[in-house]
Amino acid sequence: MSGFRHVVLFKWVEGTTTLQQEEVAAKLRELPGAIPEIREYSVGMDAGVNPGSWDFAVVADFADRDAYLAYRDHAAHRAVIDTFVSPLVAERAALQYAF
């Protein structure tokens, strides 16, 4: 398989609840139904196995860079980020790579 992968990690602001994280996950999981460019999509909270981990991750696969850009700029994605993710984010790390 070949494609283009987007990986993003979040650290939430202090006081972010499990319920808030679950709401973010649920909203993000709706995106594959709204954005046809998404090939594979996985989101989740840290399992708490190792110290120093980030709080939440998103891994998304696309056919190519252009498909990723369509997702990045899609109105449904932007709405979830603006409404549910950004208010909770203390730190964000992301990268994209071809595979």
User: For residue 32, what are the contacts with CB-CB under 8 A and spacing of at least 6?
Assistant: 38, 41
Question: What are the chain's domains?
Answer: 4-98 (3.30.70.100)
E strand or H helix at 57: strand 56-62
Helix (H, G, I), strand (E, B) or coil at 61: strand
pLDDT tens for the chain, residues 1 to 99 = 699 999 999 999 999 999 999 999 999 999 999 999 999 999 999 999 999 999 999 999 999 999 999 999 999 999 999 999 999 999 999 999 999
pTM of the model: 0.94
Kindly report the number of other CB atoms within 10 A of residue 51's CB atom. Answer: 5
